[in-house]
Amino acid sequence: MDKNTIKVINDWNPIEIYPLLQDEYLREIKKILDFIEANKDIPHEELTKFLESVFKESFGEKLFFSSKEKCIEVAKKILDK
């Protein structure tokens, strides 16, 4: 598992879980890494949309309320590793 992506997602903590366990988002991170692997040279806009869909699917709209700008920032951090 990509340590950079784990760190970026955990630092983001999109559902604001406290205390955050190191493996709290591993299922979502695996989906993200699989998506990136299947879509080489993906633009950050596409990853942004995917991040939103993964976390909304896992936690619902009531728990996932991160801004579009924050999702863009996270996508860039993941792709610019």
Can you give the residue ranges of every domain in the chain?
Answer: 3-79
Residue 52's pLDDT is 96
- Kindly provide the b/e burial profile for residues 16-26, where b requires at least 16 CB atoms within 10 angstroms of the residue's own CB: eeeeeeeeebe
Residue 12's pLDDT is 97
Its pTM stands at: 0.92
Q: How far apart are the first and last CA of the chain?
A: 14
The series of mean pLDDT values per 10 residues for the chain, 81 residues long, is: 92 94 94 94 95 96 91 96 77
